[in-house]
Amino acid sequence: MAHAAGAHAVHEAPTGFIRKYIFSLDHKVIGIQYYLLALVAVWVGMILSLYMRLRLAWPTEEFPLVGGVMTPEAYLSLVTMHGTIMVFFVLTTAPQSGFGNYILPIQIGAADMAFPFLNALSFWVTFLSFAVMLAAFFVSGGAPISGWTGYPPLSAVGEVAGPGLGLGQTLWVVSLAIFCGGALLGALNFIATTLDLRAKGMYLMRMPLTVWAWFITAILGLLAFGVLLAAGVLLLMDRVAGTSFFIPGGLVISEQIISHKGGSPLLWQHLFWFFGHPEVYIAILPGMGVVSQILSTFARKPIFGYRAMVYAIMGIGGLGFLVWGHHMFISGMSPYSAIAFSVLTLSIGVPSAIKTFNWLGTLIGGRIRFTTPMLYALGFVSLFVTGGLSGLFLGQPSLDLYLHDTYFVLAHFHMVMGVAAIFGIFAGTYFWFPKMFGRMMNEPLGKLHFWITFIGVYAIFMPMHYIGIAGHPRRYAETSGVEYLGSLQPVHDFISIVAIVTIAAQFIFLFNFFWSLYHGEKASVNPWECTTLEWTVPSPPPHDNFGGHSPVVYHGAYEYNVPGASQDYIMQTSPEKVTH
């Protein structure tokens, strides 16, 4: 073959500031750019949730920046933008595009991603998408109020249905369409890189589970975002070209007859959730990879059931495409379809349980080092199990008919794919910060941050199960006006106070992050005594990662505590013989 696979990845080290740090082709710079984008986005999303909690606990108070007492519509726009920003620009961006970009090429022994230019392009497309999304706050009418799922007809009929459904909603759709473009470029790049650029000896079944998770996540992204793109185009056509894909005939909104006819809002739900369900695995799978890596490293034991872990990732990813209907149990679907979707949904519990028990199996008998990344990895397992168990309730149509659109659902997905994925991001941050920035993060501050956050998120989301079962619907700005909700108000007050404390604790993280950038203890090449390839190169690694040569891999990624070995871990690049 005239063009060797690795040849694309080699490009000269840039010199000027702009080429080096802004429009860089280096996967490490792009990874950090993605990470910082997510860091900005997560603060925006978190401030939005703070305002939601303020409104819920003190509905008649005035708060700065919102102009007097917040209207219910303003609350809905907070709900919408919080969800959208968190799902797309944090949970999709940081674990996959951020850490994946930085770590994946190094862990497989490559000099860069397969397509460095497309890589930079995908970041800047995502950046543009974020700018367009934020612009929705500042246009006439403000941000949309149709939720992160953008259900039509509300999202399709325009301003007549409420503030923010004019230009704000259009910007929201355009932003998501742009995001799809960036996500597809990224996914394509990750897959090509993993298949083509592995170093000699890095067989598929020697890849770290992080690489497996990023690889499978990229496949999910490749298959899911194309469908969201199509749905977004159709919704945009409904909004600007007068079509009626998602708008049925005979609608009367705000005492106005809508002239559109012939469409079906359910079509959007099918297309959206065909994307939307894999999307939750796009958010959580990279976290699972990171957690597997960290648990094994700090338990000083090989990961329990490596192959089972790989197959479980594939199983979760594959099943993820067959269960979108469980978001639509109350849409009037045939009970027979509901049974099929329900059985498939509950069967995702099998690979999930395999992963959980393998994590526990990894921990049993280990000499556990309770570092901050390890605490966050353990927190991830705890949150994933807690959130996953409520999924078994929601996956059954008979229960979901009651629980749908209540706080129970909110509690479920925040636990299992929101906060758990965030814990995966925190674990990855504390774990790879030394490699990415050359300095250690502060451990006592990290542990303080962990304990407040861990207790905080449980105190926030456990009571939501309770008010959900009590029948509290989502998206209500206040409990007044509905008698049975009034008695639940003290729970809201409690959640809001805990949320304020937990959000305040995130300043500890922010301080630790930026303080450690400049004043942290210098990191050695391999501070955690981990076996994978990124710990064989300097911290931070040079421009082409391996200084112009390609490493050769002799072992799997989890050779800890091998009997008869010279030390308690064996690097993947160590030629030392291992007999199992």
Partner 1 sequence: MATIETGGTTTSVWGGGASPFAIPSKKLGMWLFIVSDALTFSALLIAYSYSRVASADWPLPFHFWPSIVVASVMTFCLLSSSVTMVMAVAAAKQGRVGATVNWLLATMLGGVAFIILHANEWRTLIGEGLRPFDNPWGSPLFGATFFTCTGLHMLHVTIGVIVLGVMAIGFKKGRYPADYVEISGLYWHFVDLVWMFIFPLIYLMSVPLEH
The residues that touch partner 1, with contacts defined as CB under 8 A, are 1-8, 10, 111, 114-115, 118, 184, 187-189, 191-193, 195-200, 222-227, 229-231, 233-234, 237, 241-245, 260-264, 267, 270-271, 274, 548-552
Instruction: Name the residue nearer to partner 1 (CB basis): 22 or 204.
Output: 204
CB of 250 to partner 1, least distance (A): 13
Instruction: Name the residue nearer to partner 1 (CB basis): 243 or 356.
Output: 243
Q: Which two tokens stand for residue 522?
A: 């210098």
Closest CA to 343 of 318, 326, 368, 365: 326
SS3 116: helix
Q: Where are the alpha helices (DSSP H) in 136-258?
A: 167-196, 209-240
Closest CA to 455 of 498, 514, 400: 498
CB of 194 to partner 1, least distance (A): 10
CB of 435 to partner 1, least distance (A): 22
CB of 340 to partner 1, least distance (A): 18
Instruction: Name the residue nearer to partner 1 (CB basis): 66 or 188.
Output: 188
CB of 201 to partner 1, least distance (A): 9
User: CA of 382: how far to CAs of 182, 388, 444, 450, in Å?
Assistant: 32, 10, 22, 13
CB of 176 to partner 1, least distance (A): 14
Residue 561 class from Cβ within 10 Å (0-12 exposed, 13-18 middle, 19+ buried)? Answer: middle
Instruction: Name the residue nearer to partner 1 (CB basis): 70 or 199.
Output: 199
Q: Which two tokens stand for residue 575?
A: 């030629």
CB of 4 to partner 1, least distance (A): 4
Q: How far apart are the first and last CA of the chain?
A: 38
Q: Which two tokens stand for residue 473?
A: 């619907």
Instruction: Name the residue nearer to partner 1 (CB basis): 111 or 491.
Output: 111
Rounded to the nearest angstrom, the gap between the alpha carbon of residue 476 and the centroid of all alpha carbons in its chain is: 25
CB of 101 to partner 1, least distance (A): 16
Q: Which helix (H) or strand (E) holds 257?
A: strand 256-257
Q: Which two tokens stand for residue 43?
A: 């603060």
Closest CA to 372 of 273, 540, 156, 516: 516
CB of 33 to partner 1, least distance (A): 21
CB of 537 to partner 1, least distance (A): 14
3-state percent breakdown (helix, strand, coil) of the chain, nearest 5: 65, 0, 30
Residue 405 DSSP one-character state? T
Instruction: Name the residue nearer to partner 1 (CB basis): 489 or 550.
Output: 550
SS3 406: strand
Instruction: Name the residue nearer to partner 1 (CB basis): 78 or 570.
Output: 570
Q: Where are the alpha helices (DSSP H) in 348-442?
A: 349-363, 372-394, 397-403, 407-413, 420-437
Instruction: Name the residue nearer to partner 1 (CB basis): 275 or 535.
Output: 275
Q: Which helix (H) or strand (E) holds 278?
A: helix 265-299
With beta carbons less than 8 A apart as the criterion, state whether 60 and 119 touch. no
Q: What is the DSSP secondary-structure string of 8-44?
A: GG--PPP-SHIIIIIS---HHHHHHHHHHHHHHHHHH
Instruction: Name the residue nearer to partner 1 (CB basis): 262 or 486.
Output: 262
Listed in sequence order, the residues at least 6 apart from 199 whose beta carbon sits closer than 8 Å to its beta carbon are: 108, 109, 110, 533, 550, 551, 552, 553
CB of 413 to partner 1, least distance (A): 24
Euclidean distance between CA atoms 493 and 61, whole angstroms? 13
With beta carbons less than 8 A apart as the criterion, state whether 413 and 86 touch. no
Instruction: Name the residue nearer to partner 1 (CB basis): 52 or 183.
Output: 183
Instruction: Name the residue nearer to partner 1 (CB basis): 240 or 482.
Output: 240
CB of 274 to partner 1, least distance (A): 8
The dihedrals phi and psi of 255, each to the nearest 5 degrees, come to 60, 20
Instruction: Name the residue nearer to partner 1 (CB basis): 231 or 374.
Output: 231
CB of 106 to partner 1, least distance (A): 15
With beta carbons less than 8 A apart as the criterion, state whether 295 and 560 touch. no
Instruction: Name the residue nearer to partner 1 (CB basis): 272 or 304.
Output: 272
Instruction: Name the residue nearer to partner 1 (CB basis): 32 or 118.
Output: 118
CB of 230 to partner 1, least distance (A): 4
Euclidean distance between CA atoms 521 and 438, whole angstroms? 9
